[in-house]
Structure 1
């Protein structure tokens, strides 16, 4: 949902409509908090949901324990994500990085204490994660309120945030669908792996691979002023380097996540596929970023639905359950979906009429401003 903030705030900043950016951020917080209330029920009853999906009692129980501990994080997300996109739209990146680094270091220390020293297990780890996100939200909020950099874009809380919600809501829903289809695709494959023979080993192996892939793949440079071509070239080089690192140190990286010998072997066997995923995950987020910045969320949502769920997921299920590939087959299905999505986004980007996109952005900002003004006048 927060990617809509990135779209509208980024375009407002480019159009020098600075005063509207704070209103957009606040409007997003209102919608995100409403969504957080709905998600709370999903998190609380995650155990029965996992059982209904065919997971074992042990996996469902542990998943529920962790999910319930993560409920406070949902509300921190609802506040932190719009603020981060609000700052990113103004090219305020370094302060965000410093704040995140500080919270990360504290989070690492607290997690070690809670899990290794106090032995609070999954629930303790989840609660510390929720606390860290609330701390990050608080620090981001203080920066926005107190920093001179946000003096023009943040003018205080306003009732205008409760007006003009409908056009923004449509973009927010499209953003949520677009990114949820992408995130659920990876996590869905993890859940499916829990249905394979020897689910504990399969689940641990693919979970570790998905985590490594996401973290390393996200290490691409976000340099807004450089062209998409230059960023992609840079990202390809970084991704290739990370692929080599993963392939050379596959056993060592496996041991960083688990001490179970069977899981280490299973993860090591999957690392060639992981290297391919890291390469793709280096390019795909940049293309998705172009789509978000241009307001194409609805179009990309359909692309994700077809490439991931109509094509990639069935391929993964067939290879995983009907052949001897097992977890590797599920992973091949994921790769197929990502490749098709990446190709489609490349075609969309190459065929884009950027003059028309500028006109669309101006129309979107004007429509949002007009609706806010009309609703404010009616309120008076």
Structure 2
């Protein structure tokens, strides 16, 4: 967790500087190293689950430290060292960070809650297993659009200024359950090709607080209650829970599309410029210049 607190800010900084190639190389080296460490800890040292956790910690800290070293050593144009100006109007950044955290947590907890609800259905092993398989496939497919999310959020902001998984995996019941969810998986994949991109626009525009409220309503007021009713009060079971999830995600996507469509981008540019003047210390420079001009006028 502490490594991620270093990883994410430096990652966003490098993305904003268009240093994505460096991130890709760091990730590739980390992946190769991680595979080797995993094999060593699990197969050679026989550390089991603890070995996998230690390997993950080593890889996570390796990525974070590599990004910090690159920022400090090779980003001379974007990094001029520590400065007290970084603490100017710090609460504006804190508010934005809190809004971003709430926005992401609401979205992640939404999917985790669906897994918990599914675990209380009849035959929970098959229900949770089939849903997990579909969610993993959905996650693989969604990686492309999560990448677009990261790219478009940077672009917009720059432009504006049970212990036996293998037995369950190959069972006939599991294959049938996954097959029944296939069409819902297809719908979710379509939504995943739109929702992360629109969310990237929202993040780039600095609308994290607004998106947090939208996520709260669409996911927790509409999606989860509807999924609970369809899953427990009808014969749809796991399909009902997923249908509720899809409806919540679809509603969130439609609301974000409407907001993006109605946005006055000229006004957003003005607001972004104002933030740059305020947070970049330019207001202080303008104030000093005005005072100097006034002193010259009085002296004259």
Match of 1:278 among 168, 186, 189: 189
| Cα displacement (A) at 1:275 | 1.8
The structure with the largest alpha-carbon Rg is 2
Match of 2:55 among 128, 133, 147: 128
Aligned residue runs from structure 1 range 98-113, under 5 A: 98-113=25-40
Equivalence for 1:348: 259
Equivalence for 2:144: 219
Q: Take 2:86 and 2:5, find their aligned partners in 1: how far apart are those partners? A: 15
Equivalence for 2:119: 194
Match of 1:306 among 195, 211, 217: 217
Q: Take 2:231 and 2:22, find their aligned partners in 1: how far apart are those partners? A: 44
Gaps of 5+ in 2: 157-164, 285-300
State the secondary structure of the residue aligned to 1:213.
Answer: helix
| Cα displacement (A) at 1:116 | 5.2
Provide TM-score, normalisation by structure 1: 0.65
| Cα displacement (A) at 1:191 | 1.8
Gaps of 5+ in 1: 1-73, 229-253, 374-380
Q: Take 2:192 and 2:29, find their aligned partners in 1: how far apart are those partners? A: 26
Does 2:233 correspond to 1:322? yes
State the secondary structure of the residue aligned to 1:196.
Answer: coil
User: Using a 3 Å threshold, how does the CA distance of structure 1 residues 355 and 134 change in structure 2: closer, same or farther?
Assistant: same
Provide TM-score, normalisation by structure 2: 0.81
CA offsets 1:38-86 (integer angstroms, 9 cap, x no match)? xxxxxxxxxxxxxxxxxxxxxxxxxxxxxxxxxxxx0010000000000
User: Using a 3 Å threshold, how does the CA distance of structure 1 residues 182 and 128 change in structure 2: closer, same or farther?
Assistant: same
CA offsets 1:12-60 (integer angstroms, 9 cap, x no match)? xxxxxxxxxxxxxxxxxxxxxxxxxxxxxxxxxxxxxxxxxxxxxxxxx
| Cα displacement (A) at 1:119 | 4.8
Aligned residue runs from structure 1 range 233-252, under 5 A: none
Equivalence for 1:166: 91
CA offsets 1:310-343 (integer angstroms, 9 cap, x no match)? 1111111111111222211111111111111111
Q: Take 2:279 and 2:235, find their aligned partners in 1: how far apart are those partners? A: 54
User: Using a 3 Å threshold, how does the CA distance of structure 1 residues 174 and 86 change in structure 2: closer, same or farther?
Assistant: same
| Cα displacement (A) at 1:301 | 1.0
Match of 2:77 among 140, 152, 157: 152
Q: Take 2:255 and 2:278, find their aligned partners in 1: how far apart are those partners? A: 30
Q: Take 2:235 and 2:2, find their aligned partners in 1: how far apart are those partners? A: 43
Q: Is the 8 A contact 1:167 1:368 kept in 2?
A: no
Q: Take 1:196 and 1:98, find their aligned partners in 2: how far apart are those partners? A: 44
Aligned residue runs from structure 1 range 1-380, under 5 A: 74-115=1-42, 118-147=45-74, 150-220=75-145, 222=148, 224=152, 258-369=169-280
Q: Take 1:117 and 1:260, find their aligned partners in 2: how far apart are those partners? A: 31
| Cα displacement (A) at 1:109 | 3.5
State the secondary structure of the residue aligned to 1:325.
Answer: coil
Q: Take 1:125 and 1:197, find their aligned partners in 2: how far apart are those partners? A: 32
Q: Is the 8 A contact 2:277 2:283 kept in 1?
A: no
| Cα displacement (A) at 1:268 | 3.5
